Structure 1
Amino acid sequence: MDDDDIRRLALPLDATSDLDPLLRRIGDARFVLLGEASHGTHEFYAWRAALTRRLVAEKGFSFVAVEGDWPDCWAVHRSVTLAPDAPTDPATVLAGFDRWPTWMWANQDVVRFTRWLRRHNAGLPEDRRVGFFGLDVYSLWDSLRAILDYLVEHEPEHVAAATAAFRCFEPYAEDPQAYALATHLVPTSCEDPVLVMLHALRGLTDGDAVPSTRDEQLDVEQNAVVAAGAEAYYRAMITGGPSSWNVRDGHMADTLDRLVGHHAARDEVDAADIRAVVWEHNTHVGDARYTDMARGGMVNVGQLARERHGEDDVVIVGFGAHRGTVVAAGAWGDPARVMTVPPARPGSVEAAIHEAVDAGSALFVVPPDPPAWMTERRAHRAIGVVYDPASEQWGNYVPTVLGRRYDAFCWFGDTRALTPLGDAGTPGGELETWPVGQ
């Protein structure tokens, strides 16, 4: 690999104005998918937020969708869109997130962004405010409770269907593994009552409803979709293989499309006029066809978005770093702690850029004819909520064709852990002035 080839494409990434080349690359694209190489790195969150602010303020993007649970993010959505009776400070909502890993969204960078979004929305009409939505599938029991609460008050004729679904899951005491194991050992499941409930709740939205009512009906219908998706996910989980991953990413891609349809109907415009920003891990937004995931039969949100909407309408931005610190846990469910991320593995994407670029950070916009270093398959680091720095020598890397998996790449030489809210600890402070120009 020629270091000069890397240096020629490296652009500065110090101030928000340095995002101008990326804004030009995005152009009129309708979907901008922003990744992260971990769920606990300040720089990834801060720069995603900086770019999203510009997309919302300068290009009129319609909503932000994240790798989070629908009910939790719905509460944030109500706060940032100034819904009646919602908390006036999104930090109040985020501080109440209690499903592990809490730090993934309950952190200072997300607080800062959502406060900005609420201020921005305060100057917009109700039907043009930019929402904040969760795409994920994990919130089975919370979604069922939210459905029942809504139906009891607004749609009592559908309570029976929801109650039947809820009672089917009751014996498993909100333990998804217990449910998955039960469906594996005994050929019965809660699939039928959940689908009956979903069928009953589809199409509740009245075309003449005011925006707030349309949003409430979106919420209850999406909670039913989440329940169906979660049931399928947990049932697939016990069998292993790619099926549970594909159920989850298919659900997230479908939810993104459903949100586009909702906003088009709400705004009385064509769906082609709706533009969305997505925040997820690189493993979800970076096109799976250009990693070893494809050989394993896995698809992801980035691949599905490109296939459904065309590559001209989808811009994917990956993130990576050479070394630093990160918030993660040693095992699933363990407390979060700050861990040291060692220098990137020799020969990896991150190490190659580090060796070539004499800067603390850099932006790469993939040209129409990418150079060889962007079309070679190289290791690319991926850190999850569970992390063991000692495993770097054999794990934590995804073979990747960088210039095909992404349309742009943000690289950082040294990173620091984000600052969680509440019990997860406060490793780094609020970092109020970084990146420059936010």
Structure 2
Amino acid sequence: MSDFSRLRHCMVDAIARRGVKNARVLEAMRVVPRERFVSEAMAEFAYQDAPLPINEDQTISQPYIVAAMIEAAEVKATDIVLEVGAGSGYAAAVISRIAERVYSIERHETLARAAIKRLEDLEYGNAKIIIGDGTRGLSEHAPFDAIIVAAGAPVIPEALKEQLAIGGRLVIPVGDDQRQRLCKVIRRDATSYEMIELEAVMFVPLIGEHGWAEDGSRAASNHKVGASKKQSLPAMIAEAAENLPDFEDPGFGALFDRFADRRVILLGEASHGTAEFYRARAAITRHLVTRHGFTIIAVEADWPDAAAIDRFIRHRPSDQQQEPPFQRFPSWMWRNVEIRALTEWLHKHNSRIEEMEGRAGFYGLDIYNMSGSIGAVLDYLDRVDPEAARIARERYGCLTPWQKNPATYGRAALSRGYAECEKAVIEQCQMLLRQKLNYAGKDSDAFLDAVQNARLIASAERYYRIMYYGGSESWNLRDTHMFETLQHLLEAKGSHAKAIVWAHNSHIGDARFTDMGAARDELNIGQYCRQSFGDDAALIGFGTHSGTVAAADDWDGDMQVMRVNPSRSDSYERLFHDCGKVRFLLDLSPGKREPLRRLLSRPRLERFIGVIYRPQTELQSHYIQAILADQFDAYVWFDETQAVTPLGPEHHRGMPETYPFGE
């Protein structure tokens, strides 16, 4: 079996797990080669359960949605089917493996001709692509047993309903530019129809005589979107934007006082290697710590590494056995001059606070450093309970071969039948929790550190075991672990504790309003915080148009300072760039500037750069569809940004011996 065939079968298995049951639909998905319907550069992504970009600013639909729509349309072997929005031709190809005949209309001539060629090459002779306005249907071939529309309409076009056979089914996304629902219409007789709402979706607009016009107006009724059209969207953004002063100006942090009554404030970043994002979050953090009593700084970093920083800034005893933190890839993400400046400030700030409970702490939420966590648990038990340490070494022995490169554990557990270590690591975590009263009295901070490391090991074991299955499961496990760690911190610090979270926009923006949630069933910390804390959580995103970024071009690669491509013309970032302001805060809170919020609730591309940046494939690698006004409560913009400065071996000169970044 070829690599693409294996991936295709894995994709279909994932679609079945999500609830698609029709055997003919699943079998058709197994035989149609999706890699043939995307560009060569996109072929490696063909079997991700996600929409992918094609020409003319269109997308090839997410495989799950293709399968779900065909299943909802109840396509049978004897059916004549109309598809509106051929795109790449992929959905028509899948339908052709089920139905007697499929006609597919595409308004973009270049897309239609490419789709025709693909179907001819695959010898799918019962599928025909037609260039035209799909909102009018195809009356010369009507009636149709099923009609499937792959674009969002403002209303259900009457022309399509009228071309249904009696008993025919129409499946179509319907809604305005903010929300769409997948609807199913069944023609019961000559004049009556039954409509069923299925699920929330996000599709490109259905352009045509009975859909949307190119300018965003409703072509079907000549009803314009709203009076806000009289003013350009960038001009509306410029009017609402609040200029940001210099980072050291007290007024910078004061602009965020509007969120200071929240229990959790989440500060994002559009990349992991941009200095302005770090400096802005540091300025906001300093203000919230000094003026509003925030004592938890929880970051997208590994717990044992962050614990070394916490010992320094809270003046706790250092762990002489621990290596300097943040040594593994990507070291520059936290080992940089911007973080050093913040840790020095926190160290000085905390020195003026007598009670340990009142000092601001620095904590890691992430899951990766399993080796460091095992060492921390054993070191703690060696000090408080040597017999328990002996038992723990036996339990963790299962993971010993994999500690330096735990990803290999997942590969071995999956493909070579190695015994899983889950039972042992969970037993160890439970043992520590059972001993809470006995151990915590000796040193509550040390106990919290040990327990959280034990939790990390248990989560990491599951994470590395499932990561080779792909899909959303490993992402969801990681973000669930991070959110639960935040919950444990808030619980440990008391009912009045307040937290600041530093993480990527992909983690802190509400996943339900991006393709992460809508297309891939992924969730994240931002979604969890809104669901758990409601209005007590504030989600603040960050973005940029161009500049430089510190990143690698592959995992475990060397850090490079890369030039960031100017943002795409169809992205949120371009809207902010076009407003003409270089740095600002945009408050997106409900009830404020609702006309602007509505326009920023139209799905657009949003850029996400992690520790990996590949400018040459930026569209497919780093952009996803999002609804920004619902994703965030506020947005911080820097039009041009610069890369973070990583720390070198010379940085620790003159620093105290306990300084955590020492070599």
- TM-score (normalised: structure 2): 0.59
For 1:396 and 1:209, how far apart are their aligned partners in 2? 44
The residue number in structure 1 matching 2:37 is: none
Q: What displacement does 1:78 show?
A: 0.4
Question: Could you say if the C-alpha distance between residues 96 and 172 of structure 1 is closer, same or farther in structure 2, counting changes exceeding 3 Å?
Answer: closer
Alignment deviations for residues 144-203 of structure 1 (CA, whole Å, 9 cap, x no partner): 111112112211232243112321012336322321122213273000110111111115
For 1:48 and 1:242, how far apart are their aligned partners in 2? 29
Question: Could you say if the C-alpha distance between residues 139 and 394 of structure 1 is closer, same or farther in structure 2, counting changes exceeding 3 Å?
Answer: closer
Q: Is the 8 A contact 1:76 1:94 kept in 2?
A: no
For 1:395 and 1:174, how far apart are their aligned partners in 2? 28
Alignment deviations for residues 281-305 of structure 1 (CA, whole Å, 9 cap, x no partner): 0000111001001120100000011
For 1:145 and 1:59, how far apart are their aligned partners in 2? 36
2:609 is aligned with 1:383:
yes
- Give the residue type in structure 2 aligned to 1:354: H
For 2:573 and 2:323, how far apart are their aligned partners in 1? 32
For 1:184 and 1:69, how far apart are their aligned partners in 2? 25
Question: Could you say if the C-alpha distance between residues 152 and 84 of structure 1 is closer, same or farther in structure 2, counting changes exceeding 3 Å?
Answer: closer
Bigger shift: residues 71-80 or 143-152: 143-152
What SS does structure 1 have at the residue aligned with 2:522?
coil
Compare relative contact order (CA 8 Å, sep 6+) and give the higher one, 1 or 2: 1
Q: What displacement does 1:19 show?
A: 4.2
Q: For residues 260-279 of structure 1, what are the structure 2 equivalents within 5 Å? A: 260-264=490-494, 271=495, 273-279=496-502
Q: How much identity, in percent, do the aligned residues show?
A: 39
For 2:585 and 2:488, how far apart are their aligned partners in 1? 32
Instruction: From 305, 318, 324, give the equivalent of 2:541.
Output: 318
Q: What displacement does 1:344 show?
A: 0.5
Alignment deviations for residues 229-257 of structure 1 (CA, whole Å, 9 cap, x no partner): 10010111011110000010000000000
The residue number in structure 2 matching 1:202 is: 433
The residue number in structure 2 matching 1:104 is: 333
Q: What displacement does 1:209 show?
A: 5.7
Instruction: From 351, 359, 363, give the equivalent of 2:585.
Output: 363
Question: Could you say if the C-alpha distance between residues 94 and 220 of structure 1 is closer, same or farther in structure 2, counting changes exceeding 3 Å?
Answer: closer
What SS does structure 2 have at the residue aligned with 1:138?
coil
Q: Is the 8 A contact 2:253 2:288 kept in 1?
A: no
Q: Is the 8 A contact 1:345 1:351 kept in 2?
A: yes
Higher radius of gyration, 1 or 2: 2
Instruction: From 411, 414, 427, give the equivalent of 2:640.
Output: 414
May I ask how many residue pairs the two structures share in their alignment? 409
The residue number in structure 2 matching 1:399 is: 625
What SS does structure 2 have at the residue aligned with 1:230?
helix
Q: What displacement does 1:390 show?
A: 1.6
Instruction: From 499, 511, 524, give the equivalent of 1:300.
Output: 524
The residue number in structure 2 matching 1:434 is: none
2:565 is aligned with 1:345:
no
- Give the residue type in structure 1 aligned to 2:272: H
- Give the residue type in structure 2 aligned to 1:387: Y
Q: Is the 8 A contact 1:13 1:19 kept in 2?
A: no
- Give the residue type in structure 2 aligned to 1:33: L
Q: Is the 8 A contact 2:300 2:502 kept in 1?
A: yes
Q: What displacement does 1:115 show?
A: 0.7
What SS does structure 1 have at the residue aligned with 2:423?
helix
- Give the residue type in structure 2 aligned to 1:365: D
For 1:226 and 1:6, how far apart are their aligned partners in 2? 42
The residue number in structure 1 matching 2:16 is: none
2:493 is aligned with 1:288:
no
2:478 is aligned with 1:223:
no
Question: Could you say if the C-alpha distance between residues 54 and 203 of structure 1 is closer, same or farther in structure 2, counting changes exceeding 3 Å?
Answer: farther
Q: For residues 233-252 of structure 1, what are the structure 2 equivalents within 5 Å? A: 233-252=463-482
Question: Could you say if the C-alpha distance between residues 173 and 365 of structure 1 is closer, same or farther in structure 2, counting changes exceeding 3 Å?
Answer: closer
Question: Could you say if the C-alpha distance between residues 360 and 141 of structure 1 is closer, same or farther in structure 2, counting changes exceeding 3 Å?
Answer: same
What SS does structure 1 have at the residue aligned with 2:426?
helix
Q: Is the 8 A contact 2:308 2:325 kept in 1?
A: no
Instruction: From 250, 253, 267, give the equivalent of 2:483.
Output: 253
The residue number in structure 2 matching 1:8 is: 239
Give the structure with the higher percent helix: 1
The residue number in structure 1 matching 2:366 is: 136
Q: Please tell me the root mean square deviation across aligned C-alpha atoms, in Å.
A: 2.1
Q: Is the 8 A contact 1:21 1:365 kept in 2?
A: no
For 1:41 and 1:95, how far apart are their aligned partners in 2? 23
- Give the residue type in structure 2 aligned to 1:361: R
Alignment deviations for residues 403-431 of structure 1 (CA, whole Å, 9 cap, x no partner): 111111001111001100127x99xxxxx
Q: Is the 8 A contact 1:205 1:218 kept in 2?
A: no
Alignment deviations for residues 69-89 of structure 1 (CA, whole Å, 9 cap, x no partner): 1111000000000113479xx
The residue number in structure 1 matching 2:254 is: 20
Alignment deviations for residues 10-64 of structure 1 (CA, whole Å, 9 cap, x no partner): 110123414434322x041100000001110000000000001111011000210
For 1:406 and 1:249, how far apart are their aligned partners in 2? 17
For 1:146 and 1:381, how far apart are their aligned partners in 2? 37
Question: Could you say if the C-alpha distance between residues 82 and 331 of structure 1 is closer, same or farther in structure 2, counting changes exceeding 3 Å?
Answer: same
Q: What displacement does 1:332 show?
A: 0.7
The residue number in structure 2 matching 1:162 is: 392
For 2:549 and 2:400, how far apart are their aligned partners in 1? 37
Q: Is the 8 A contact 2:335 2:646 kept in 1?
A: yes
Alignment deviations for residues 382-404 of structure 1 (CA, whole Å, 9 cap, x no partner): 10111111222443112111111
- Give the residue type in structure 2 aligned to 1:193: A
For 2:332 and 2:547, how far apart are their aligned partners in 1? 18
Q: Is the 8 A contact 1:94 1:111 kept in 2?
A: no
The residue number in structure 1 matching 2:90 is: none
The residue number in structure 1 matching 2:349 is: 120
For 1:246 and 1:353, how far apart are their aligned partners in 2? 30
Question: Could you say if the C-alpha distance between residues 94 and 400 of structure 1 is closer, same or farther in structure 2, counting changes exceeding 3 Å?
Answer: farther
Q: Is the 8 A contact 2:357 2:493 kept in 1?
A: no
For 1:365 and 1:9, how far apart are their aligned partners in 2? 8
For 1:340 and 1:134, how far apart are their aligned partners in 2? 29
Q: Is the 8 A contact 1:32 1:315 kept in 2?
A: yes
For 2:530 and 2:638, how far apart are their aligned partners in 1? 27
Instruction: From 283, 286, 301, give the equivalent of 1:68.
Output: 301
Q: For residues 15-94 of structure 1, what are the structure 2 equivalents within 5 Å? A: 15=246, 16=249, 17-24=251-258, 26-85=259-318
Bigger shift: residues 159-168 or 284-293: 159-168
Alignment deviations for residues 210-267 of structure 1 (CA, whole Å, 9 cap, x no partner): 7x81000111111100000100101110111100000100000000000011111xxx
Question: Could you say if the C-alpha distance between residues 412 and 333 of structure 1 is closer, same or farther in structure 2, counting changes exceeding 3 Å?
Answer: same
Q: Is the 8 A contact 2:260 2:288 kept in 1?
A: no
For 2:426 and 2:438, how far apart are their aligned partners in 1? 24
Q: Is the 8 A contact 2:294 2:498 kept in 1?
A: yes
What SS does structure 2 have at the residue aligned with 1:296?
coil
Question: Could you say if the C-alpha distance between residues 393 and 243 of structure 1 is closer, same or farther in structure 2, counting changes exceeding 3 Å?
Answer: closer
Q: What displacement does 1:360 show?
A: 1.6
Q: Is the 8 A contact 2:370 2:403 kept in 1?
A: no
- TM-score (normalised: structure 1): 0.89
Q: Is the 8 A contact 2:304 2:372 kept in 1?
A: yes
Q: Is the 8 A contact 1:22 1:365 kept in 2?
A: no
Q: Is the 8 A contact 2:547 2:563 kept in 1?
A: yes
